[in-house]
Amino acid sequence: MGVAVMTPPVRVLVVDDDALVRAGLTMMLDGAPGLAVVGEADDGDKVPAATDAHHPDVVLMDLRMPRVDGITATRRLRARPRPPEIIVLTTFDTDENILHALRAGASGFLLKDTPPARIAEAIRQVAAGEPILSPRITRRLMDRVSVQAGAYARATAVLAGLSPRERDVVVAIARGRSNAEIGAELDMTLATVKTHVSHVLTKLGLDNRTQIALLAHDAGLV
């Protein structure tokens, strides 16, 4: 009989300027299977030190904080070596700042009224390399944001360097498909899908699948 290998819990850092929100999230997530809240921060300026101290796998990041907002904190964190994944947690589902946060490198976003079980599952999903793309909210945000002058041309030029198969994967990602769903649609093995995704990220100089989806949207592929 083999020896069971215990999978370490996903380490979570909670960043929010509201002490009650932090306490509620910590209580909820510490009771969820496979998760452990390892630290808290009450403003974006404290995120680097908290990350160094606690080594989280996933950061739950509020958007609106007094000194350093979540977008700036996300951008700074993603610029560091081997950064954790970041989920923006906000009450503003129509705020354009959410889209800016995704472009800054966040792996996705959730609303603060999301059911606890869904937040816990989202953290596990992001930690496993599957960023959160809520179809309803992401579609609304993308539809509301005006494409800036030249964005289409820039996105098209960047994507021109991809192979036809890589472009197929990009479109599938932009449609919110998981790796398994992409494999089924494009008749690829899961390993092949992961290889294509990795190549796309490297070629495009992007951090995650969310940014791939945004680029595909700018290029009018979805």
pLDDT digits (tens, 9 = 90+) for 179-203: 899 999 999 999 999 999 999 999 9
The alpha carbon dihedral of 204, 207, 210, 211 has a sign of negative
Residue with tokens 């606690």: 54
- Confidence bin at 146 (pLDDT 50/70/90): very low
Examine the pLDDT at 82 and tell me if it is beyond 60: yes
pLDDT confidence of residue 41: 96
Which is higher by pLDDT, 139 or 169? 169
CA separation for the pair 171, 190 (Å, rounded): 17
- The secondary structure of the chain in percent helix, strand, coil, rounded to multiples of 5, reads 50, 10, 35
221 and 174 in contact (C-beta within 8 Å)?
Answer: yes
Examine the pLDDT at 98 and tell me if it is beyond 60: yes
What integer is the mean pLDDT of 114-136?
81
Domain boundaries, the chain: 10-143, 149-218
pLDDT confidence of residue 90: 81
Task: Note the pLDDT tens digit of each residue in 48-62.
Answer: 999 999 999 999 999
CA separation for the pair 85, 61 (Å, rounded): 10
Examine the pLDDT at 209 and tell me if it is beyond 80: yes
Task: Note the pLDDT tens digit of each residue in 149-163.
Answer: 467 778 888 888 899
Please provide residue 210's backbone torsions phi and psi, each rounded to the nearest 5 degrees: -60, -40
pLDDT confidence of residue 150: 65
CA separation for the pair 222, 105 (Å, rounded): 21
pLDDT confidence of residue 134: 57
What integer is the mean pLDDT of 53-78?
93
CA separation for the pair 127, 55 (Å, rounded): 13
Q: Which of 2-6, 87-91, 123-127 has the highest mean pLDDT?
A: 123-127
Which CATH superfamily includes the segment(s) 10-143?
A: Response regulator (3.40.50.2300)
Fold of the domain spanning 149-218: Arc Repressor Mutant, subunit A (1.10.10)
